[in-house]
Structure formats: C-alpha cells, structure tokens
Structure 1
Amino acid sequence: MREIITLQLGQQSNYVGTHFWNTQESYFTYGSEEESPIDHNVHFRPGLSADGTETFMPRTVIYDLKGGFGTLRKINALYEVSHDAAPSGIWPGQTVVHRQPPIEASTYQESLDTGQTPPELSTSTVRYWSDFNRVFFHPKSIVQLNEYELNSTLMPFEKWHMGEELFASLDKEHDLVDRDLRPFVEEADQMQGIQILAGLDDAWAGFAAKYVERLRDEYGKTPVWVFGLQEPTRGLPREKRLTKLVNKARALTELNSQASLIIPFALPESPLPDTVNVDPASPWHVSALYAAALESTTLYTRLRTSDRVNSTNLGNMADLLNVFGKQTIANVEFSPVEPKDKQQNGTNRFGEILNGRGDRIASLYSSALDPITPEPSSQKDTVSLDIDLSSPQDLNLDPGRRRQRKRHIFSQVQTYRGPKEETTNGEQNGGHDARDGDNIMRSRPKVHEYRSTVAFPLIDSYPKIFRRPHRPNLDDPATTVVPIRTALSADTSVTEKVRALRTTVVRSIGLEDRETVGNELAEIAESYREGWSSGSDDDDDDD
C-alpha cells in the first residue's frame, strides 16, 4: 500500500508536522462526495479504539521535550481510560505526588471539541503546536522525553552532543527503534519509506543522526528522507549563531552517508516577495511556509496510483535527484502561483527580481515552471523559483571566497499543483535520456516534472501568509486554495555553501573531531563538482 512512516523530532518538527497532518486531514471526503485523489493509506493507519470504534490515525512517532506537547495528551477522546493505572514501584512507604498545573486548552481546541466554528488563530494565540492541531494521534505516537525541558534557561537542549547522548542513553535502556517505530513498520504491507522531520541546527540534529544510523542497521534498503529544519537566526548573538552552524555542519556530515535524501529548510534572510507575508518570530508562520513546500513536493508520493504519470515514491524521487550516487543534499525552492491576468499580457514586475542566490526568478504570471531567462543549452529546462528555502544565506558565511557566477544543476524535480496550464519545455515525468553518452549526461541536467490539479488547501488552522496586495479590487482565491510549484535540485551551490560552512565552523569543533568533520565536509563539497568544472570555482580551501 506504499506506506510512509513519519518521525517528528522536536519542537520545530512538530510545528511543521502539525500543518502537514492538518492538510492531510482536509483531503478526506465523506458520504457522497467525490473520491479524494489522495491515497490516505499511505500516511494513515486503520485501527480500533478501546470501545471498538474504527479509527484512522497518522503513521507517525512524535518526540518532544517535557512541556513541548502543550495541551496534547497521550490519551485522547478515542482512547480514554476510566481510572489511573496502579503504581508499579516497590517503595513500601507513603508516596507524595506533585502535579504541575495543567495548561489551559486554546479556544481553537475547545471549539473543535464542542463542534463549534473555531475562532481565527493569530500569532499571539498559538502558544504550542498542539494549539492548532486538528487530528487525533494514537497513544503510541506520543513520546515525551523528560530528561530536558522545553525552553529551559538552565539546560537548553541546543548542542549537538546533548542530542547524541540523549539518544544513546534512551536507546540503551529501551531500544527506541524497536519500542517506538517497529509497531508502525509491522503494520505496513509494503512500506515506501520513512520521512524524518528534525531540527538541523539544534540538539535534535545529534538525536536525528543517531536515529538514522539505527534505522540503517534495521532497514538498510528503506528510503529515508530527512527534512532538516532551521530556525531564523537574524538577531541572535554571534555565539548562538555559531552553535547552530556547528550543529548543522555535524548533521550534514553524519546524515550524508546514512540518509537517502537530505533537504535543508531555512527562512531566507533576504526579503520575501510581496505575495508572502511571514512573521519570522512566529514558529506557526515559519513552519507554515516550510510545510507548504514540503507537502507540495511530496504530494506525488501519496496520489492514487491510478494517476500513473504523476504518482511516484520516495525511493524513485531520491534516485532521480542523486544521479551520481554521492549527492544526497537537495535544495528546495518554492513559489505560490497567482493565475495569469489576461489584462496584464503575461507580464509583471516580479519577472525582474532576484531570489536568495541572485538568480532571476520566474514570473508569477508565467506558465508554471517555464524559465524566463535564456539559459545555456545544458540548463534550459531548469527553473529558479522566487523563494529559496535551502539556506541561501550560507553563501555569505565566507565573504572572501570567489563564487561561481551561475549554479550548475545536475538534476531537478519540478512540481506544479493547481489549475491545468500549458505544458513546459521539459519532458513530463521523464527528464532527458541518459543514453546519449557519458559526456552529455554530465553536462545536461536530468529534469523531471510532476503535476496535479490538487491545489494547496488553506484551512482555518493555517495562517494567512499568502496574499495579493496588488489586486485589492478582485476576489481573492487564496482564501481557500493556492496553486504552488516547487523545485528540488542537486546543484553546485551545495559546494559553495558547504565550503563556506566548513571555513566558518571548523575551528569551533573540538580537536578530537575537527579533522574528521573538516575532511567530510570537504568530500561533500567535492561530490557536487564531479563531472562539472568552472573557471570561477577552482579556488581551494585554505583550512
């Protein structure tokens, strides 16, 4: 049944995961409604509650620190218990129970529980990711780690070694994969893969690296995708920014050899287009932008297989991107698409602005996925979209380095979801033929395209981050759905980012690991130069 099991590691991941599951829940159809194009069995598991009621709950395991779950409880309306379990300790004396005052449910959650129309959410009313959650989770999905507390000032969970050590101690005591993940794996008839949402710049990166290592021991051939989430760093002290970069560097070196695909997500420090309004101080907002790109990129792994042209799986998409076998880091770009206005003759001012890398972006009114600038023959079917979520600011870490003027794309998976539009220049879902010879293969990118008429739904738990400020007198279609396009690319910008990251952090890594991490980062950077050379990218590291 092509099942995908999701692991959510930490607060950032659970914000994104909540948006993701709310979106999946919105695809369900009931009664006489037309059948959903989404195969719900991919991400949801059937089951029975304690009273025999049929349930359909996410195939996910959710980890968070003490205090991170907010009002979410392990036991919910579908799995209630009538009494507390008897204490299992052997202490013969009198016990004293200390209880923290419960967190009050948000008015949004109270409205869902009573069946009333929920109030509009805001950045001030969303305190935890559970405040806007719309789905029920199985009790086995909820795993609270009490060793650390969320937002602790005494012992913040922010350094790589904390995550490594926490996983090691828990795994030694419980065997986390066997206890938490295996029950979901054993329910799957034909598991498509595992997708992991994890912080890339905090202690969860160390936790995730150890978790993926264990997954490789248990499920060696299973595709494992890691979505590495990063918090906005603008305004943070230099020391904290450096700590986050060290965590990221170590995560890339550890995950590169274990994961099938790593997709870093970061909010660009350059201004976003006028059609997107994100409050960088709000995890609810930032995670919503990440979730829209993530959910749109992976939509085609859960479409019903009756759409044979546009349905795919995690393993196939990873193979399409990693054409040389060493390029597991993919850059993600994203764009909300506004329908073309006939009165504007297909042009507007967005066609001339730059994205975070300095590339000209496709016009928001152009046909989906069409490049707007003349490209070299080897790159003519690739695209640059207006929001680069792949840490473009990392290119500025080493201002003294000479940069290549234009990135070279080895492979790119383009997706479009929304109303039908004209086909593009690229071959749909096929890319270019690799049988033309090794030299052509090395110079011409593999371009693949997936399309769906299922636009991204804007439900009441999703913030109003998409807007149309230049057309105030027209009805706003973005109140219910928004067309979206994305692009996943394996390209030479990874070389520049990883080199700049190495130069910045290598001296901040402990002596016992400095050489190893530095060498592995250099190897990652080199793997994105294979089969491609540029006169402006021949400089070597001095470190």
Structure 2
Amino acid sequence: MHEILTLQLGQRANYLASHFWNLQESYFTYNQEDESPVDHDVHFRPGIGADGAETFTPRTIIYDLKGAFGTLRKYNALYELTEDANLGQGLWDGKEVIQQQTPILQSDYQRNLEAGLPAPQLTAETVRYWSDYNRLFYHPRSIVQLNDYELNSRIMPFEDWNVGEDLFGDLDKEHDLLDRDVRPFAEECDQLRAIQLFTGSDDAWGGFSARYIDRLRDEFGKKSIWVWAIEGGSKVSRQTQLKRDTNKARSIYNISPQSSLYTPIIDPPSRVPSTVHFNPQSEWHTSALVSSAMESVTLPTRLRQFHDFESSLAGDDGTHKIFELQSSVIPDNENHEKHLPALKEPLTRTQSAEQEASKPQTEFEVDFTYDGHGSGNSHIFNQLQVWRGVQLDRGDGSVPPEDLGLARKQRYYNSAPMLQSFHAPLPFPILDSYPSTIFSSAQQNKVNVLAALTASSRTAERIKMMETVAGRIIGVDERETLVNGLGEIRESYETGWMSDSDFDDE
C-alpha cells in the first residue's frame, strides 16, 4: 500500500477537511460484488474498538483551539473510556467545588446520525462548528486540542504568525509532537507515500505549520509533503489585511521550499459564475466549494490504478512547487469537446506539449488561488488536470499512453508547458452533509468536475506584491532575509528566467 497521512491545523482547515473525509466515507461500498474504484487503505487505518470489533478510521491528526471542536468528543462510540470517570479526591480532603462550562447541544443532524434516522437538511444557520456536519468516527489519537488559546478570543487572538511559531516551539519542547502524534500513525503504514496538510496561512496557523513542516522534513526526508494553504477571502479592515499579507509572505517563504506541493487557496473566492451559489459568510458553504476542486484534483492518488501523480507535480525540473487551484463544473448536456484535450485512455494519459489539441487550460469558472486575475497572459510551466464524471469518446483512433520522460524532453526542446491529464468516471457526489444549492447544474446529486493544478508565471506577480508589502511593513531585523528569500522564489516563476539569449551565447 501507499498510505497518505493527513494533518489538519486550525478552524478553516478543519472545515475543509471535514468535507474531504465525508466524501471519502461516501465512496465505501458494502456489497462485495461492487468494488469501489477508490482504495480506502490510502487514507483509512484499520483498528480495534473498545468492544473488540474492527474499526476503520481516518489516518489523520486534527489540531484546533479550545472551544473549536463543538460536540466532537475525543472518545466516541467506537472507543469509549473503560475506566471510572471519577478520579477521586487524591490528597485533597477539603470540600470540592465543581465548575462546568455550559455544554454545547448536539445538532439535530448529529443526533439523527447516531440514532440511525434520516438526517435533516443542514443550513448555514444550523452549522455552528465543523463537527456539526461530520459523518465519521475518529480515533482518539486524532483529536488534539490546544488549550493555550481559545477560539475567537479577543483577549489572546490567534492571529500573528510569530504566535503560532512560538506555540509550536513550546508544545514541541514539552511533548515532542512528532513522537506523540505523528509517529504512531506513520508506523502503522506499510509504505508511507505522502503527508498532506490542511492549514491556514494568513494567521498564526501559518507559523505553527511552518515549524511543524520543518520537523516533518527532518524526520521523513524525501517523502512528499502536500500543503493546502488557506487564506481568508472576505473583506476586512486595512490593518487586518496588512497583517494577513505579511503572514502569507512569511508562510510562502518558510513553507513552500520545504513542500512538494504548496497551493494557496482563497476562501471564499470573489469571482464565481452565475451557476454557483453560496453564502460567503458561512464557512460550511465556502469550504464546500473549495472541497469540490481540492478533492477532485487529488482523486488519482486514491484510485486503485493511479499513475505518475507525484511525477506530474514535479513537472520537468522539480523547481515549481507553488500551484494554483482551479475548477469548472461541466453539465451533462454540454459539449465536452470544447473542454477536453485529445484524451482516449480510461484513467490517465500524458499529453505531448507539442500537440495543439492538448494545450493547458487557461479558462476556468473558479480560480481559488489568484481569483482570476491575469490568467490569460501568464506563461504556464506545468499543469495537472483531473476530469471526473465526464463520459469521454473512446471510439476508434485510441492512442497509447506516452512515456512521461519523453514528454518532458519534448517540453524542454519546444519550451512548451508540461501537461498531464487524468480521467475518472466517478462524478463528484452531493452528500446530505454538503450544501445542496451550490451547483445549479447538479443532477441526481452529482456533478462533473474539471479540476487543475497549474504552475505559472502568475506566481511571480503575486510574490512581487508580497515583497513590496514586506519591504514596507516587516521589521528591520527580518526584512532583508524575507524580501531576499521571496525574490529567489519569484525568479524561478518569471517567464524569462531561462531566456533564449542564454542559449545564443553558447
């Protein structure tokens, strides 16, 4: 097996990850004759519950602040505590005064799930926490509450990048977080394939995740590390926005060089088509929209016959690690030919960059990374496409898969983008835990999705703006290191970083 271990860092990350896990649970099949196309062992781990029964729980570690878990308990129906909850008075022989916080009432959705009854329809008003629409049981080791800070606290807000960095340092000195939290899950794997992180990048979680990834890279060497870096897309005051911008600059400087994939995600994006409807004030809604692209573009990593996913991320030189996340919803009655490249294989086919029919896509309905600015004039270095649910024409003229190494040589020779396309007949399912009104083109609770990860010169433009902000705001002691570091990253994404004149001089 090639397992993937997931880390969830913070409130926004857990909203997105909850949709992700609900989708993985929906792919399970319980009829032995119908095998799921998804290999569940990639993300789920077998175990033994408190009653000796076999369990199957997500291979994930969930970090969040005090008060952020809602009604989710560390010990659930699969892993109930067996010891007496009354620990006794110990050495204290005085009178006890017990103070308890007001318990959070369980939502109707969760109550019906536990009772095995049909779940009521969720709304933006009834979803108060990410656990309110969670459909899974987690292993007790997966739940890690950080009690040093409280959710939405005005006295000690968890906003400054350095605050998260310091918190990780303090916790790691006290517990060694890798030994306590990561190693038990990693040691269960036959062959750990990658570590996937959901995290905020424009608040203190950016600093927390940066130091965490430093430790992961030291411990796991060349293992793939995929980072989904979530940024707030709602309008805030100028002072708050400047703080977010500096936090994003620190995150991209510290995290992207250590990652195999670093994808900034604007949550929510401001530009969406008229066929997409969501409440921008509801994190349940906005994270659901993000999940339709993020879960779709990583689907090949879970299919039983995946090929070359990590290799396609590396492109032809392995230097472009910052990707843009984009997606489009394709109605069943639409002519797919205007979207589709010349794709004939049922799962995956590497596209030769010199073929006119297989050029990278530049127009998408939703751009989660740069919000649609400047996509037409950018230079694309590498693009990975995933088509799901679209029925491809597999008539005569089928072309065998091309060699990935040969495609890279052609890309170098022609100075053309590297492109790889995956196809999966599995459409994106609209679950009862998912907002049912987001996609107006959904039919029979499912939609066809085109999702893509793109490395392009737009990243250079984005980082250049970060350099400007950092040069004006960051303190003198950090400014030079940060600005110079961002400049080095930017240079590799500039269109002319390897110009024709370099070859003419030889």
Same fold (TM over 0.5): yes
1:508 counterpart residue number? 473
Superposition deviation, residue 507 in structure 1:
1.6
**Aligned to 1:332, which of 317, 325, 330?**
325
2:348 aligns with none
CA contact (8 A) 1:268 1:388 kept: no
Q: Distance in 1 between matches of 2:102 and 2:186?
A: 36
Give the superposition deviation at 1:269.
5.0
Deviation by residue 1:45-100 (Cα, 9 ceiling, x = unmatched): 00001110110000000000000000000010111125216369876765543210
Match of 2:216 in 1: 215
**Is the Cα–Cα contact under 8 Å of residues 223 and 314 in structure 1 kept in the other structure?**
no
Matched, 1:111 2:112: yes
The residue aligned with 2:461 is 496
Instruction: Return the letter of the residue paired with 1:409.
Output: I
Structure 1 residues 393-412: aligned runs within 5 Å: 406-412=377-383
1:421 corresponds to which residue? 392
Contact conserved, 1:335 with 1:485, CA < 8 A, in 2?
A: yes
SS in 2 for 1:230: strand
Q: Distance in 2 between matches of 1:507 and 1:90?
A: 58
Q: Normalization by structure 2: what TM-score?
A: 0.89
Correspondences of 1:224-263 after superposition (within 5 Å): 224-234=225-235, 236-263=236-263
SS at match of 1:245: helix
Paired letter, 2:379: H
* Residue 390 (structure 1) aligned with residue 369 (structure 2): yes
Q: Is the 8 A contact 2:230 2:266 kept in 1?
A: yes
Matching residue's letter, 1:390: T
Asked if the contact 1:74–1:142 (Cα under 8 Å) also holds between the matched residues in 2, the reply is: yes
Q: Percent identity?
A: 44
Give the alignment's Cα RMSD to 1 decimal: 2.8
Change (3 A) 1:173 1:224: same
Closer/same/farther in 2, CA of residues 426 and 103 from structure 1, 3 Å limit: farther
CA contact (8 A) 1:7 1:196 kept: yes
Matches within 5 A, 1:99-248: 99-234=100-235, 236-248=236-248
Offset, 1:480 = 1.5
Asked whether the equivalents of residues 455 and 484 of structure 1 are also in contact (C-alpha less than 8 Å), the reply is yes
8 Å contact 1:8–1:61 — kept in the other structure?
A: yes
Pick one of 427, 435, 443 that aligns with 1:463.
435
Distance in structure 2 (CA, Å) of the matches to 1:150 and 1:340: 45
Q: Deviations over 1:412-447 (max 9, x none)?
A: 11110003223799996756623348442xx21111
Cα displacement string for residues 273-320 of structure 1 (whole angstroms, at most 9, x for unaligned residues): 11211211110011111111111011100111xx3xxx1366334323
Cα distance, 1:85–1:510 mapped onto 2, change above 3 Å: farther
* Secondary structure, aligned partner of 2:462: helix
Cα distance per residue 1:126-178 (max 9 Å; x no partner): 00000000000000000000000001111110110110010000000000011
Count matched residues: 486
Measure how far apart 1:493 and its partner are.
0.6
Counterpart Cα distance in 1 of 2:355 and 2:465 = 29
Whole-angstrom distance in 2 between the partners of 1:408 and 1:430: 24
C-alpha separation between the residues in 1 aligned to 2:14 and 2:411? 45
1:312 to 307, 310, 326: 307
CA contact (8 A) 1:329 1:494 kept: yes
| Counterpart secondary structure, 1:145 | strand
Q: Give the SS at the match of 1:47.
A: strand
Once residues 379 and 407 of structure 1 are traced to their aligned partners in structure 2, the CA distance between those partners, rounded to angstroms, is 19
Q: Is this contact kept in 2: 1:430–1:449, CA < 8 A? A: no
Q: TM-score, normalised by structure 1?
A: 0.84
- Of the three residues 477, 481, 489, the one matched with 1:524 is 489
Change (3 A) 1:125 1:303: same
Q: Which amino acid aligns with 2:294?
A: L
Q: Which letter maps to 1:446?
A: M
**Structure 1 residue 271: Cα displacement:** 3.0
Partner Cα separation in structure 2 for residue 116 and residue 404 of structure 1: 47
Preserved CA contact (<8 Å) 2:59 2:185: yes
Structure 1 counterpart of 2:408, from 420, 434, 444: 434
Instruction: Indicate which of 426, 444, 452 corresponds to 2:416.
Output: 444
- 5+ residue gaps in structure 2? 344-352, 501-506
**Equivalent pair of 1:428/1:448 in contact (CA under 8 Å):** no
Per-residue CA deviation, residues 390-432 of structure 1 (Å, 9 max, x unaligned), is: 1337x6xxxxxxx897111111111100032237999967566
Q: Following the alignment from structure 1 to structure 2, what is the Cα–Cα distance between the partners of residues 87 and 317?
A: 58
Aligned to 1:539: none
Distance 1:462-1:437 versus aligned 2 partners, 3 A rule: closer
CA distance in 1, matches of 2:207, 2:421: 34
**C-alpha distance in 2 between matches for 1:21 and 1:108:** 17
Corresponding letter in the other structure for 1:502:
E
- Cα distance, 1:201 vs structure 2: 1.0
Q: Does structure 1 retain, via aligned residues, the 8 Å contact 2:384–2:453?
A: yes
* Aligned partner of 1:454 among 398, 411, 426: 426
Matched, 1:298 2:305: no
Alpha-carbon separation, structure 1, partners of 2:187 and 2:200: 27
Q: Report the alpha carbon displacement of residue 27 of structure 1 after superposing the two structures with TM.
A: 0.5
Structure 2 counterpart of 1:381, from 355, 359, 369: 359
Q: What CA deviation, in whole Å up to 9, does each residue of 1:440-487 have, x standing for no partner?
A: 2xx21111010000111111000124333xxxxxxx653411111111
Partner of 1:481: 446
CA 1:281–1:259 in structure 2 vs 1: closer, same or farther (change >3 Å)? same
Greater displacement, 14-23 / 259-268: 259-268
- Cα deviation, residue 13, structure 1: 0.6
Secondary structure class of the residue paired with 1:391:
coil
CA distance in 1 between counterparts of 2:312 and 2:253 reads 22
Letter in 1 for 2:160: K
Q: What letter is aligned with 1:242?
A: L
Distance 1:33 1:104, change over 3 A: farther
Say whether the 8 Å CA contact 1:367–1:421 is kept in structure 2: no
On the 8 A contact 1:370/1:383 being kept in 2, the answer is no
Q: Note the residue ranges of structure 1 that are not aligned, 5 or more in a row.
A: 347-363, 396-402, 469-475, 536-543
**1:9 equivalent in structure 2:** 9
Conserved? CA contact 2:5–2:185, under 8 Å: yes
Q: Is the 8 A contact 1:232 1:280 kept in 2?
A: no
For residue 196 of structure 1, give the secondary structure of its aligned residue in structure 2.
strand
Q: How far apart are 1:505 and its partner, in Å? A: 3.3
Q: Contact (CA 8 Å) 1:430, 1:447: kept in 2 or not?
A: no
Question: Does the CA contact (< 8 Å) of 1:193 and 1:315 recur in 2?
Answer: no
Partner of 2:58: 58
Letter in 2 for 1:411: N
